[in-house]
Amino acid sequence: MDIIEILKAILFGIVEGITEWLPISSTGHMILLNEFVTLNVSDEFWEMFLVVIQLGAILAVVLLFWNKIFPFHFREKPVMQKDIFVLWFKILVACVPAAVIGLAFDDVLDALFYNPWCVSIALIVFGIAFIVIENRNKKMTPRITELSQITYQTALMIGVFQLLAAVFPGTSRSGATIVGALLIGVSRTVAAEFTFFLAIPVMLGASLLKVLKFGFSFTGEELVILLVGMFVAFAVSVLVIRFLMGYIKKHDFKVFGWYRIVLGAAVLVWFALV
């Protein structure tokens, strides 16, 4: 077992845990990090690792929001919460656009857009979008301030924005859904929570697809690298989600927009020079 590869997996887990929930693109950061710190694994394993490591981050959402996403409660007797079931149906509706395109064009999209140039452009474009939308929303009152107020139509519209992240790495799945939600009048807190919950079926499905494509013929070292990355991503995600939910109660998302623009520009310059 190469300790250097384990340390690299820890680093990737830290980056994944931070960037999965902040609207700055986890996949984009992972692709860019791979340009400087490369795991000594096959291309097939790396492609699978890039997606499946996100399951660790997803488990953090399950832990932190269990009472809001699990429809059964057991006190004196089992109680089913209808509103949570309805929320899950809305989440599944929001998953439809990305699921259809992802299943149909997964390999094509990987070949066309999984490169530093596309990542950089997507970082900049959606960075600008955050700033423009937050400036527009300054004098507006959100019309949706509770999860229960999200309709099926609203959920589908948010799902269409999520589709942008499925097509263009660097867009950020959380960034795209939050931008879309803000644009149609959802409050920051509700936009963030719906984005977190939407990630559960999306990433479970994407991970299953990648694992089936890769097969189950892991070497011992590959399995350790994957599990270490997932565990670190989980631990870091718990801290980041708690930070973000506190942050957006008092601040807007513009700081993340500026970060995306600066990072995207820096990466464009870097790859233009090397």
Q: What is the pLDDT of residue 35?
A: 82
Q: What is the pLDDT of residue 142?
A: 92
Average pLDDT of every residue of the chain: 88
- pLDDT bucket at 62, cuts 50 / 70 / 90: very high
Examine the pLDDT at 112 and tell me if it is beyond 60: no
- pLDDT bucket at 76, cuts 50 / 70 / 90: low
Q: What is the pLDDT of residue 19?
A: 92
- pLDDT bucket at 81, cuts 50 / 70 / 90: confident
Q: What is the mean pLDDT of residues 50-74?
A: 89
3-state SS, one letter per residue, for 172-219:
CHHHHHHHHHHHCCECHHHHHHHHHHHHHHHHHHHHHHHHHHHCCCCC
Buried b (16+ CB within 10 A) or exposed e, 159-185: bebbbbbbbbbbbbbbbbbbbbbbbbb
- pLDDT bucket at 114, cuts 50 / 70 / 90: low
Kindly state the tokens that stand for 181.
């939600």
- pLDDT bucket at 166, cuts 50 / 70 / 90: confident
Kindly state the tokens that stand for 116.
């530093």
d(CA 5, CA 267): 25
Examine the pLDDT at 75 and tell me if it is beyond 80: no
- State which H helix or E strand residue 74 sits in: strand 72-74
DSSP assignment of 123-176: HHHHHHHHHHHHHHHTT---SB-SGGG--HHHHHHHHHHHHHHHHSTTS-HHHH
The values of phi and psi at residue 216, to 5°, are -110, 25
Handedness of CA 196, 96, 131, 168 (dihedral sign): positive
pLDDT in tens, 201-242: 988 888 888 888 888 888 889 999 999 999 999 999 999 999
Q: What is the pLDDT of residue 57?
A: 93
Q: What is the pLDDT of residue 194?
A: 95
Q: What is the pLDDT of residue 245?
A: 94
d(CA 192, CA 40): 35
Say what angle helices 173-183 and 116-137 make with each other, to 10 degrees.
30
